[in-house]
Structures are given as C-alpha cells and as structure tokens.
Chain A
C-alpha cells in the first residue's frame, strides 16, 4: 500500500475489512516485541487496540501525515505505548499512595500528545550532527561523563561536558524553533 493515509482513513471510516488487514499484517510483530519485553499476549492485544485508537483520534482531529510506511509507524506507536505502560507501572509501584484509576480514554488522549512530543524530539535529534546525536543519546541514557569521554576519546570530562552542552543547545534550538513545540507547551 503506497498511500499511507489509506489505513488511517479506513480506521475513521470503521472499515472492518481493512482493520482485519491491519491486524493480519502487523499484530504478530507487535505481539512478539511485547512478549519479548516483559509483556503477555493480553498486553499486546491492549496496546495494539490503543495504538489504532490513537491513530484514529489523531487523524480525526488533524489530518497528520505519516512519513514512513504505515506498518513502521504503527510499530513505533505500539513500542512507545509499551514504554509508556512499563513506566506507568513503575510509577504505580513507587508511588502507591497516589494510586489513581485512570480510564482508558484519558490515557489514550494523553498518549497522543506524548507521541507528538516524542516525534518532535526524535525528528529534531536527527537534524543535528551525527557526533552530537551519538553523544546526546548516551547522555540522555544517563551514561557517566567518564564513559562518554572514553568512548569518544576526549581528553577530559570537562571537554565532554562542553560538548554535551553545545550539542544540547543545538537540539533545544531546533526544538524551540519548531512550531509544534509552541503548540505542545502552550496548552
């Protein structure tokens, strides 16, 4: 399918045949990813449904464009939703007093915003130099400066800090200049 919006349109048209095709072409890959990453089959079913709802809701509100294949995009959304789920559980475990039952719809609505922010950040990261990108990836993964220094053969941690600072500023400048950032912060 070359037209990436075909399945998006099918979702909001509630086209059951196309939806079945989406399942056929994508579900097993998602299931295998989730089962390999601390999930169960039931989780995979939940995540897959939530992902499709997320796409439908977002497409209904703003006719967004998918730059990759629909399959690749859907997989990314599912992966992110699963990351979200794993981190939600973490919060629930560490923050037992504030345990609150949120309903699914609210979760899906928030997940749309989060996915949009994630897209803005990852796309911005792709716009900076390869060296900066690699350094920042390590930095955001909370890698120690000493380790970054070794991996990139820098002379001192101070040099690494300066490099991180510079790279982060270019990234933030790109993010701040993107009109999507404004929309995402001034809500």
Chain B
C-alpha cells in the first residue's frame, strides 16, 4: 500500500521536490515499480474523462498499423472518405435531388404569390436562406425508439415538403423533453416554409430561452428567419452575436455576414 500511496501522491502532484526527485530516480532503477507506475498512470489517464492515455511511439505494433495506413488500399479509402465528407458537408454539392425539389417548391410559391413581389425584391436573400438553412442536414429523429416514431413520420412529411401535416405532429409532441430542441427547430422551419413568420419566431424564441443544451442553435435559425424576411439589419445583429459568443455555426455565421 505504501507504494500505492506514493504513486497516487505523485500523480496528484502532492510530492515535495525532493520526494519527486527520488521518485523519478526509482522509476528508472526499479523495473517492477516502473510497471506498477505505468499501469496506474494509464488507468488514471484513460478512465478520467478529462484526460487521455497516450501510447508510446515507435513500438512494433504501432509500426504495423502505420504500414497498413501507407498501403494502397487505405490510401484509396482515404480518398473516398475525403470525397464523401466534402460531398456531405459542402452546401453546393450535398443537396442533389432534394435541392432541385426545394427550388421547385420555391418556384411554385413564387407562382402562387405573384411575380412582382419576388422579382423586385431581394432574391439574393432568399438564395442565401436556401443555401444556409440546410434543410436536409437537420438532425434525424429516425433512430429514436418507440413513441418517437411519430416524429420520424413528421420528419418524413417535412422532407416531402408537407409542412402543415408535419406541424400537426410536431405540435402534439412539443412538450416532450427528449428531442425538444430538434423538434423546435423543425417546427420553426416548417412555419418559415409556410411563411408564418410569427409562429416561426415563437418557436425559435422558445428554443433560445430554454435551458436545453442546444438553446444556442435558436440564434442561428432566428438569424435565417430574419434573412428570409429581408430584415438584413436584424440578421446581421444576431449573426454578430453568434460569432462573438462562438455559438452554434459561428463559422457559417461569419461566412454569411460577408455575403450580406
């Protein structure tokens, strides 16, 4: 137990300078003590969530993995991963068919509302909204179990553009705790698509003022809501907050600010 206490005190930084000196000396000369110490330190580092236990370099096993990593197969895999990642994360390429669908939906709304309103106004703000909102990048409800399957249905309706039907379901589940932040995002965006901006704002405000982990996402969607309504000053104000507070999507907020 004596050695244990000694090692423990060393790891917690409780030894005096002299004690530490003799401790380090013993580590070099006493192989058993060294093994004991290494395991103890590894346990400390690996099992404490705040730290991480790093491996020694230049071991045989590490070199074997390194060799595989340098093989042609893995190099090809790296390429595929990089391509998939870019395709998945860049706004321009990831949308494919869905994007076409949104344009179609947007186009039909334009027809419905009459041409002048839109063409005279800031089309670019609408484009920016479409570009940044990433409707198909939203978190999914699909993998959740049991009762939440309804939410997966609502998500499907949302993806099909049947926003009013989706809202019927979102509103029923609003009070549930799990998924609440995602739910509010979907709800708000559905209202945006239906051009019911008042209710959209209410949903995003609910998110911002909640004590949910994702509360800060509310700012991002509120900014987009204002953008959609051509309220550029308000949009800029919120985006600046997002950037200065380093909230959700602060990088995108910075990019968007440049484009306004």
Number of B positions contacting A (CB below 8 A):
59
| Residue A148, interface by CB 8 Å | no
Task: Tell whether B98 is near chain A: CB-to-CB under 8 Å.
Answer: no
With a cutoff of 8 Å between Cβ atoms, the chain A residues found around residue B252 in the complex are: 41
Stretch from B65-73, B113-121, B171-179, B228-236 contacting the other chain:
B65-73
In the complex, how many residues of chain A place their beta carbon closer than 8 angstroms to a beta carbon of chain B? 63
Minimum Cβ distance to chain B for residue A168 (Å): 7
Q: Decide: B68 and A60 in contact? CB cutoff 8 A.
A: yes
Please determine whether A109 and B81 come into contact, CB atoms closer than 8 angstroms: no
CA–CA, A64 to B198, complex, Å?
54
Q: Does B31 contact A (CB under 8 A)?
A: no
Residue of A with least CB distance to B62: A109
> Which DSSP category, helix, strand, loop or mixed, fits chain A's interface?
helix
Contact with A along B155-199 (1 / 0, CB 8 A): 000000000000000000000000000000000000000000000
Residues B61 and A49 in contact, CB atoms below 8 Å apart: no
A113 interface neighbour in B61, B80, B85, B249, Cβ under 8 Å: B61
Q: Would you call B59 and A49 a contact (CB within 8 A)?
A: no
Q: Is A29 an interface residue (CB 8 A)?
A: yes
Q: Hey, which chain A residues are within 8 Å of B132, CB to CB?
A: none
Cβ contacts under 8 Å, A32 to chain B: 139, 214
Interface of B is mostly: helix
Q: In the complex, A142 Cα to B48 Cα: how many Å?
A: 8
Which residues in chain B, 23-66, are within 8 Å of chain A measured between CB atoms?
Answer: 35, 38-40, 42-44, 46-57, 59-66
- Residue pairs across A and B with CB atoms within 8 Å: the count is 149
Residue of A nearest to B42 (CB): A117
Q: Which residues of A lie under 8 Å from residue B64 when comparing CB positions?
A: 61
A14-B77, A110-B57 known; A140+B42 contact, CB < 8 A: no
Given contacts A121-B46, A187-B61, contact A56 B74 (CB under 8 A): yes
Contacts of A140 in B (CB 8 A): 43-44, 47-48
Give complex CA distance A172, B4 in Å. 12
Q: Are A137 and B61 in contact (CB under 8 A)?
A: no
Task: Choose from B1, B74, B87 the contact partner of A53 (Cβ within 8 Å).
Answer: B74
Say whether, besides A12-B73, A14-B76, A142 and B12 are in contact (CB < 8 Å): yes
Minimum-distance CB pairs A-B, first 8: A187-B59, A109-B65, A113-B55, A87-B52, A140-B47, A105-B69, A109-B66, A110-B55
Chain B interface (Cβ < 8 Å from any Cβ of A): 1, 4-5, 12, 35, 38-40, 42-44, 46-57, 59-66, 68-70, 73-74, 76-78, 80-85, 87-89, 137, 139-140, 143, 213-214, 248-252
A-B contact pairs, 11 of them (CB 8 A): A12-B77, A14-B73, A35-B248, A40-B250, A48-B85, A84-B54, A87-B52, A109-B62, A113-B59, A121-B47, A172-B43
